[in-house]
Amino acid sequence: MFLQIIRVPNLKVGTVLLSCAFLYDIFWVFVSKLWFQESVMIVVARGDKIGEDGIPMLLKIPRMFDPWGGYNIIGFGDIIVPGLLVAFSLRFEQSSHDDYCPL
């Protein structure tokens, strides 16, 4: 639904948005450990401090061949933001085929 409502106007905006989201993730997952002694984004996503299962903005993917079990986590932002760029590419391709005339 989000990808149908929000539209990226051009490739430059989509690329800047994707780059900023990438840097944002890098900072809060890896660099925040230096200031707060633990990754802020991981703690918030897992819900470590509240004792619940976490907020519903997280996909838990089980590790297939890990002898200790466990799971990898992916946030919805890691899916939605690249999806905006893919949706733009699809709309661009469809519009370029509409304008194409072989004669």
Q: Which residues are catalytic?
A: 25, 78
CA distance 16 to 30: 21
CA distance 95 to 41: 38
Query: Residue 38, CB half-sphere, CA atoms under 13 Å: how many?
Result: 9
